[in-house]
Structure 1
Amino acid sequence: MTEVTSVTTSVRPPRVGLYPYYVLVLLMLVTMINFIDRQLIAILSPSIQADLGLTDWQMGAVKGIFFALLYAFLGIPIARLADRTNRTAIVASAIAGWSVFTMLCGATQNFMQLAMARVGVSIGEAGGTAPAHSILSDYFPKEQRGFALSVVNIGVPLGIGFSFLGGGWLVTTFDWRTTCVIMGIPGLLVALLVAITVREPERGRLDLEPPTGRSPRKPSSDLSEILKTARHMLAIPTFRAFAIAGAIAAMASYAKSTWIVDFFTRAHADVPPMYVFTALGLTQAVANTAGIFLSGYLVDRLSKRTRAVYAWVPAICLGILFPLWGLCLWVDSFWVAIALQVPICFFGSTFLGPSFALAQTLSPVAVRSVTAALFLLIINLVGMGLGPTFVGFLSSGLMAQFGPDYSLRIALSALLAGYLVASVIYMRASEGIDADWARATGHQHNKADHQ
């Protein structure tokens, strides 16, 4: 008994003070700015289409594949750089970069110029998420990472909500070009705040993991290290299943978030645009925030009994989304459709927090940024790249036969089955979480782990 007490005391992580919570809130603000600028294209989509004369497939490509391609692939080399250098500087530079390109979107005159400006936004945003997750993993022990990463992800609905409210007001008051310029300014201020006030934490200081004999700075090529990390993580069944399920769910989620304004302005054309922006902004901000926070809280609390909860929460919530979204897309009443957005946003926000938290725990300390970027690569390339693009191309193909309203409804409906598929994959993945967790953390799994 004495020996166990001694070992437990020697590996007890430092107490989390107030400063890590300041960093947590600031990085949540970074995520918020990220999604303000990312979501802006969806709010401005009808105005941009009317001004530049773009088709649905062109807007789908701008919202999807043009943004996702470099965003997904550059995330890994940037994350590899973050695993060896100052992560705070990378995050600050990334914020400044995507903010500048958001402002430049307002100067574009045609499809290709807009597409290239969005590529610029994606390059900047590629450097924001993975290094931020890695920073937080060195400020919070693994028992609190579900909470910490869920708090950071609260910036997603807050950013989307503010983008609807602020961007919607600006575009109805001024125009879409002025809106781009104004919405890019806050990011420059936040970049300065991150650079000045966030200290780079010591890597792995809150983790006990078996010696690997490897140093993150050893003289081997970045590509070989990236591939080695990818092989290691993809060999873990739970990580692989979570990445596939998250990517499938993200296809429907990203398609919904990028086409939601177009859907409501076409299906409910008699409703003033500012009503649409306000209703969507409030439901996104409130319901998504509640879903992200509650999912993180539940996972951290219930994982003390069973770590399968990391999969159960996303599985159950995504299964509920299927009928809710189907009803929302085809109901005639605007207010009923908006009311349905509340549970849709709540349940649709529950899968990313637990997934990111589990991925960070399964990852070796030295490559956490690369692990986060690898997870994002899979989710974003499939979800962000294919989801909005598929909807745009299908809607354009159906336009002549069904018109702009029903062509978009059919295209969005075609992706709903992805929620059910993802739910099944998450549920099946729950069976192997304990074993993969034990191997990753170097602890033998037993009942005492959950007491």
Structure 2
Amino acid sequence: MTDQTQPAHPGWKTHICLVLLLIVYVFNFVDRQILSILAQPIKAELNLSDAQLGWLGGFAFAFVYTLLGIPAAMIAQRVGRVRLITAALIVWSAATAACGLANSWITLALGRFGVGVGEAGGVAPSQSLISDLYPPAQRARAMAVFSLGVPLGSGLGIMFGGLLAATFDWRHAFVTIGLAGVVFAPLFFFGTRRHDGQTQTDTVPAVDRLRRLIRNRSLWLISLGASLSSVIGYGLMFWLPSVFMRSFKATLMSASFSFGLIVLIGGAVGILGGGFVADRLGAKSPRAFALVPAVAYLLCIPAYGLVLLMPGLAFDTAAGFALLILAQALGLVWMGPVIASLHHVVEPQDRALASALFLFVTNIIGLGFGSWTMGAISDYLSYNYAANALKMAVTGGLVFYALGAGCFLMTALTLKRDWKTAPISV
């Protein structure tokens, strides 16, 4: 199905498919982010440093995730996207369960490698399928709904992971959540397989398709902007629960419940709001798809900075909690407009591969360096700042939001030239 043949108003079966893809994405982020709330008990039992924990939350996952993402997108064109997503869900869920059996840093790293192997086949095919199902005028909102998997998965993973860890131990949390994904996999497959058509047959060899994407300036500016901001975005997602416990003396339960609510509420508001605003403003100019996230990033810096540095605005005060929700919302505004604009600047048959390239860049930089960088800086600062070293490392990392905003301001200059589909009024 191409942009020209998509219905202006997709039916309920299309929306059900989107919801099932969303649920898979929820599992994706539950399994990816659960380590953040379990970091402290794992650190104590396995005797790990912050840098080692950051490596497990970043490189151990990101290395294989990014390495296999592009081949997975090419395979999706041959075997079918729904089949690949189903297989990927089973693999990463089983690997998450296996993390609960780890008895050392090495065995836990192997489990995280397995999670990365599975998740490499999930996101890019899902985004490609959604772009086929929804017309251009509704694409940012559809991508925003799918991207709710980030706050829903992260928030639920943090809340339920913390609950299971506090009630039983961190091992039970990994096993229970991993097995839940395995059980859901056949339900997803039979609910979505009828939508597994491809956009159109492309006779261009894969290597040539890759070359034409590499020459796309907007694609690389979009990817770089998202990557730089993701360094701090992933760093905050991984380390903020630990900041609550170390600098604000929160318990595991209170940190998991508070941060889970912040991620759920703020993330949902930011992602849905960003998709809606970008679709409305983008009907007048494609530049809005880059300007909306740029402004949001710049507003993130004071919102997070006030809570981290002002003694009277701790996360457990009403004002601090509200500021963190606002900051979380602003930090995730980008997801709907950026992913939609990515699919607007490439040919329909290149969308899965473009998503894979985007994920390769954003995850190797953002996910790979985010949590590890903050952990390494925390270790370095620990001599002078003790329990507040991690808080200071995270605060300094807010500069990456400014760098990401600068990239999106440059992207706004190229989007109109590279746009493949004329803006459609809504």
What band does the TM-score fall into relative to the shorter chain? Answer: over 0.9
Aligned counterparts of 1:125 and 1:202: Cα–Cα separation in 2: 21
Aligned counterparts of 2:414 and 2:203: Cα–Cα separation in 1: 32
Conserved? CA contact 1:84–1:217, under 8 Å = no
**How does 1:97-136 map onto structure 2 within 5 Å?**
97-136=91-130
Quick one: percent identity of the two aligned structures?
A: 30
Matched residue, 1:335: 316
**In the alignment, which of 196, 204, 207 is matched to residue 201 of structure 1?**
196
Find out whether 1:20 has 2:1 as its counterpart: no
* CA-atom RMSD in angstroms: 1.8
**In the alignment, which of 389, 408, 419 is matched to residue 426 of structure 1?**
408
1:11 Cα deviation (Å)? 4.7
Matched residue, 1:238: 218
Aligned counterparts of 2:174 and 2:340: Cα–Cα separation in 1: 33
**In the alignment, which of 210, 220, 237 is matched to residue 257 of structure 1?**
237
**How does 1:21-420 map onto structure 2 within 5 Å?**
21-198=15-192, 199-204=194-199, 215-216=201-202, 220=205, 225=206, 227-269=207-249, 271-332=250-311, 333-336=314-317, 337-403=320-386, 405-420=387-402
TM-score by length of 1: 0.89
Conserved? CA contact 1:280–1:338, under 8 Å = no
Aligned counterparts of 2:379 and 2:125: Cα–Cα separation in 1: 38
Conserved? CA contact 1:139–1:201, under 8 Å = no
Equivalent residue of 1:13, what SS?
coil
Aligned counterparts of 1:326 and 1:256: Cα–Cα separation in 2: 12
Q: Give the AA of the match of 2:6.
A: P
Gaps of 5+ in 1: 1-9, 206-214
Residues 11 and 216 of structure 1, relative CA distance in 2, 3 Å threshold: closer
Equivalent residue of 1:280, what SS?
helix
Conserved? CA contact 1:87–1:200, under 8 Å = no
Conserved? CA contact 1:37–1:183, under 8 Å = yes
Q: Give the AA of the match of 2:148.
A: I
Equivalent residue of 1:83, what SS?
helix
Cα displacement string for residues 356-398 of structure 1 (whole angstroms, at most 9, x for unaligned residues): 1111122222221111110011100000001111111121122
Aligned counterparts of 1:363 and 1:82: Cα–Cα separation in 2: 17
1:155 Cα deviation (Å)? 1.4
1:425 Cα deviation (Å)? 1.8
Cα displacement string for residues 298-349 of structure 1 (whole angstroms, at most 9, x for unaligned residues): 1112211111110111011000011122222223334244332111111011
Q: Give the AA of the match of 1:235.
A: R
Aligned counterparts of 1:217 and 1:306: Cα–Cα separation in 2: 32
Conserved? CA contact 1:203–1:365, under 8 Å = no
Range with bigger deviation, 392-401 or 41-50 = 392-401
Equivalent residue of 2:78, what SS?
coil
Conserved? CA contact 1:86–1:200, under 8 Å = no
1:432 Cα deviation (Å)? 2.3
TM-score by length of 2: 0.94
Conserved? CA contact 1:312–1:427, under 8 Å = yes
Gaps of 5+ in 2: none
Conserved? CA contact 2:297–2:401, under 8 Å = yes
Structure showing greater radius of gyration is 1
Q: Give the AA of the match of 2:381.
A: L
Conserved? CA contact 1:157–1:289, under 8 Å = yes
Equivalent residue of 1:31, what SS?
helix
Conserved? CA contact 1:150–1:293, under 8 Å = yes
Q: Give the AA of the match of 1:203.
A: Q
Equivalent residue of 1:301, what SS?
helix
Aligned counterparts of 2:126 and 2:115: Cα–Cα separation in 1: 18
